Every structure is written in structure tokens, then in C-alpha cells.
Structure 1
Amino acid sequence: MPYKKITETPSNHDNLEQLDTLSILAKMNEEDQKIADAVALVVPEVTKLVDALTERFLRGGRLFYIGAGTSGRLGILDASEIPPTFGMPHDRVIGLIAGGDIAIRKAVEYAEDDTEQAWKDLLAYDIDANDTVIGIAASGTTPYVLGGINDAKDNGLLTAGITNNPGSPLAEAADIGIAVDVGPEFVTGSTRMKSGTSQKLVLNMISTALMIKIGRVKGNKMVNMQLSNNKLVDRGTRYVMEGLGIDYSRAEELLKKHGSVKAALEAGR
């Protein structure tokens, strides 16, 4: 018996074009409030993934996200924020999207329908058994993602699938299936909405927990963040002030001399 494709079921709301602005927004917010509860239900699966991923990451493995459309863009977004936030090299968490970089801004027709391209994209990074591949697809049926996950699994990599359809091919194919059932979208089938938001939450959980577990956070501070603009220098200076109990100017001097909050704290003790 085929699974129920929840992401394509009719919206709980109808005649949207007849609603006034306040009603549209209130009803969207009503639907959005269901997302965090749906994510809470998959925390055990996310925990299993983070623990297995951390082991491989500490052995030098990398984390790859693969996706198409909104899902692919969310993976790239998460990956791109790891270096400035946690000071990690750009080649440790990598996002790949069907259609290549041009698809980040513009849809590439039929790119997601190629079952072999994701593995070709991964092979360009000299993929190995310490790496982890997470496929992201609201539908759980995207050929680019499914093909990549199946090939990665066949080659001994750890695989996970983030989807919004429990029982979907992606949820079943991956070693760890993370199926977030957010229910029907406000606009029927528009998975850039609730489904996309739930994926962003799960990606935040995975990458942030990973960074904490490998020591890129101290207390609750981003002590390895890149000092790439004045805002971040100011933030880092205040972290050093707090950590060492010194004034702003001395903290800023230490930070700029040693290049990171972590190094400044160690030098100042």
C-alpha cells in the first residue's frame, strides 16, 4: 500500500484570495505554530544522527547536504554559515544542490530528476567512508536526492534523510530517516512554507549540536567565530571581557592579537 503524501494534501484553509490581509497572516501563523511540535517528535532520530555523525567527523569525515529547490538551498544556507559562526574550514560541511550553484538563485529545469548526478557531485569531493550524506526532500521522492542517498549508502557512508512524508522512499532508504509531519501546507503543496521551516529547524539542530560536541562552543559562546566584521569583533570583545573580567580596550587588544575568542581567553588566563 503506497504511503500518504501529506505534503500534497489539501490545505486546512480555502478561498484564500477572499481573505483580508490580517486573516491571511493569522491563519498562516496558526499553521506555523504546529511546526515546533512536529520537530519535537523526531528529536530521538536527530539524536541518533548527531552522535553517529560526530564520531565520523572527529575522524576527519565531512558532512554533505544534498537537495533540490528549497531543500537544496536550505542545505547550502546551513553549510555556508558554519565557517563564520564556528570557525570551521569551508570544506567540512558542504551543501550540494541539483543543477549546481546556478540553482541557488534560479530554478534549473529537470535537474532534480537525475538519479545519478548527486553521486557524481559527491565524487568530485573524493568522498570516503568517514563522510556523512544527508538528503533533504520534503516529498521524500526527489530522484536527485534518492539516487545520491542510495549510492552513498551502497558505498559505506552514513546516510540520513530529512523529509516531511513519513514512510516515503527517502525516509525508508536512508540509514536514519527523519520524517517531520507538519501536515498540509497553508497553500496546498507549497513546501517552501511549513515543510521548509521544519527542515531549517532540523538542520540548525544537527549542525549546532555537532559543533558543540566537537568543542567549537565554550559555555554558550561562539568562541571560534570568524572576526569578519565590526559587529563580530565587538561581540568577541565582550565575550573576552566577560570571560576574563577585564575592560573593553584590553579585551579588544587580546582578541585582535590572538585572532579568536578562544585563543584570547587562553592567553589572558
Structure 2
Amino acid sequence: MSDVPHTEGTPAISTLATETSNPATADIDRMSPLEVVQALNAEDAKVARAVELVLPEVARAIEAIADRMSQGGRLIYIGAGTSGRLGILDASECPPTFGTSPEQIVGLIAGGPIATASAVEDAEDNPAAGRAELEHLRLTELDTVVGIAASGRTPYVLGAIEYAKNQGALTIGLACNQHSPLERRVEIAIVPLVGPEAITGSTRLKSGTAQKMVLNMLSTGTMVLLGKTYGNLMVDVVATNYKLEQRASSIVQQATGLDRAQAVALLRSTQGETKTAIVVGRLHVSPDVARAQLAAHNHNLRNTLEAMQS
């Protein structure tokens, strides 16, 4: 029998907005292929507006996350099913984009790694498993835990959030239904209300799209605040393949005004460190001086350049 907490006053799942039937798609099985995709597209068009309405909460979240990460804290996503997979996706894309270590931004899913490719549906019913995942990570008050659950009531996520609160970590909830147990238990609740899904209860659709948009903002906004960009250039990109090498070269060219050959030579002289190459190219100092100055300014490229040019 599943270890499912029953919260007094929690409504039946059938009453949740994301579980109710959508009249706009009630006859979707009678539609032509073009009508089907038009109906889906019309529903998806509502997602951006739902996310727009929660931007103040997202902004508050990134400010709080960045403050903790600047002191050595981690960003940890935890969810089940689609929600868990989206968290893992966002976490996994941060190291090559922003030069973070895999330990800094972590994605956890009910059922473990196998659940990223195959559904392990009953794993979400165990709050103790959520707690155990975070116990293994040895949370501190500098860490942030983002519980992701479209319903806002997934036991695995709620168990993790309760443990995170007890450890003093910042707790953020990302749900798509109002007044959920998750919303009530976290410090910052982000609740884009996308309404009924095109296919009743299929929260991989609008809910998943909204969650992906918010997670993009959480990680990207946090990285911007931490100085991982210069303008809109990803100056901490890790050039681990040909495409990323080309991207790093282009970034150096844009930031320094040098041509491609000069940018490639600079990157070689700085062991592929994009920020270091830009400082060298802009200020004509040695790589060691550039690295020392970047370290002195918390690796913020703009602050480093402004301080050295003043």
C-alpha cells in the first residue's frame, strides 16, 4: 500500500483545474488533423499569459536563489513524472551553458534515473522517498529546493519539501492549481494557472509547457544575477564539442571586436576560458592577470572590465 499522506480538506483530484474537461476540445477525436493541431495551439497560446501573471514570484525566487548560490548553495529540483523530467532537463543543461558543476544544480525524479525514460508511476506516492533523496544530499540552509508538481499535491514532492523546510533550506513550489498543499507549504509559490488540459488530465501539455518556461527563467535568471552572462552572451560556456567551440569563438569576437582567427588564438592561450580570453583581448593583459582580476570580482566579467578600465 502506498505511503500517501491525506491532507484534511484537500479536494478530490477530479476537482483540480488541470483535471477538468476542456469544452474547447470535447470533440477532438472528430477533428481533422489540422483542426487537432489548431486546437492544441490555441490552448498552448494561453500558457504564456498564465506565466506572465506569476513573473513577480519568479523574480523573487531568482533573487533568493542567487543570493544563496553566491554563498555556495545549490539549486535542487524535485518532481515526479513529467515534472521531474523537466527539472532534470533544466539542471542538465546548465553546466555546458553556464559553466556550473553538476553538483550546483541538481534534478531529482521519483523512481530514480530509470524514470527519466520509463514511467514509474507509483513512485510519486511515497513521501519518504522524497525525504530520502534530500537526506542523501545533506541539505544546508544555503540550498534551494524547488518542488515541481502540476497538481500541487504529489506526496513524493511534499515529503521532500517538508524535509527541506526542517533543514532551513529555501523552499519554492511550482504548481498549476491554486490553493494546493504544495503552495501552502513553501516559502515562495509559483502557480501559473493554465486551466484544463486539451486532453483531460494530461499535464504534460499546458502544465508541462508552463513548468518548462518557469524553470528556464529560474535557472537563466539566477545565472544572469551571478554574472554568468555579459550582456546576453554566455561567457561561461564550456566548449566541449565543435559547436560550442564555434560559439565560444563567436562570443569572444562579439565582446572584443577581434576577428575569428584572433579569437581562436586567444581561446587557445587561455585554455578555452571565454571570460579570461575576453579580458585579455580587451585589456591586453596576461591570462594570469585576467584570471586574478576575475577572481577578485567574483568572476563577474562586466565588473572586472569596469574596474580595470577605471
Deviation at 1:210, TM superposition (A): 0.3
| Structure 2 residue 41 is matched with structure 1 residue 29 | yes
Selected match of 1:41 from 47, 50, 53: 53
Selected match of 1:147 from 156, 159, 162: 159
Partner Cα distance (1:209, 1:31) in 2 = 26
Scaled by the length of structure 2, the TM-score of the pair is 0.85
Could you tell me which residue of structure 2 aligns to residue 112 of structure 1? Answer: 124
| Structure 2 residue 110 is matched with structure 1 residue 82 | no
Write out the 4+ residue segments of structure 1 that deviate beyond 4 Å after TM superposition.
1-4
Greater RCO structure (CA 8 Å; 6+ sep): 1
Counting only pairs closer than 5 Å after superposition, residues 4-23 of structure 1 correspond to structure 2 as 4-12=15-23, 13-23=25-35
Gaps of 5+ in 1: none
Partner Cα distance (2:249, 2:10) in 1 = 56
Deviation at 1:256, TM superposition (A): 2.6
Could you tell me which residue of structure 1 aligns to residue 6 of structure 2? Answer: none
1:61-93 CA deviation, whole Å, 9 max, x = no partner? Answer: 001000000000000000000000001111000
Deviation at 1:96, TM superposition (A): 0.3
Deviation at 1:155, TM superposition (A): 2.0
Deviation at 1:214, TM superposition (A): 0.5
Gaps of 5+ in 2: 1-8, 283-310
Partner Cα distance (1:157, 1:167) in 2 = 22
Counting only pairs closer than 5 Å after superposition, residues 213-228 of structure 1 correspond to structure 2 as 213-228=225-240
- The structure-2 alpha-carbon separation of the partners of 1:36 and 1:109, relative to structure 1 and needing over 3 Å to count, comes to closer
Could you tell me which residue of structure 2 aligns to residue 265 of structure 1? Answer: 278
Partner Cα distance (2:58, 2:115) in 1 = 28
166-175 or 192-201: which moved more? 166-175
Could you tell me which residue of structure 2 aligns to residue 94 of structure 1? Answer: 106
- Structure number with bigger Rg: 2
Scaled by the length of structure 1, the TM-score of the pair is 0.97
Partner Cα distance (2:107, 2:95) in 1 = 13
Partner Cα distance (1:155, 1:236) in 2 = 39
Kept after mapping to 1: 8 A contact 2:139/2:167: no
1:118-174 CA deviation, whole Å, 9 max, x = no partner? Answer: 121112122111101000000111000011111111221110100000111111111
| Structure 2 residue 210 is matched with structure 1 residue 198 | yes
Deviation at 1:260, TM superposition (A): 2.3
Partner Cα distance (1:75, 1:242) in 2 = 32
| Structure 2 residue 135 is matched with structure 1 residue 123 | yes
Q: What letter matches 2:278 in structure 1? A: L
Partner Cα distance (1:247, 1:159) in 2 = 46
Partner Cα distance (2:250, 2:277) in 1 = 12
Partner Cα distance (1:65, 1:245) in 2 = 39
Deviation at 1:109, TM superposition (A): 3.8
Q: Could you tell me the percent identity over the aligned residues?
A: 48
Selected match of 1:189 from 196, 201, 204: 201
Say how many residue pairs are matched. 269
Selected match of 1:67 from 69, 79, 91: 79
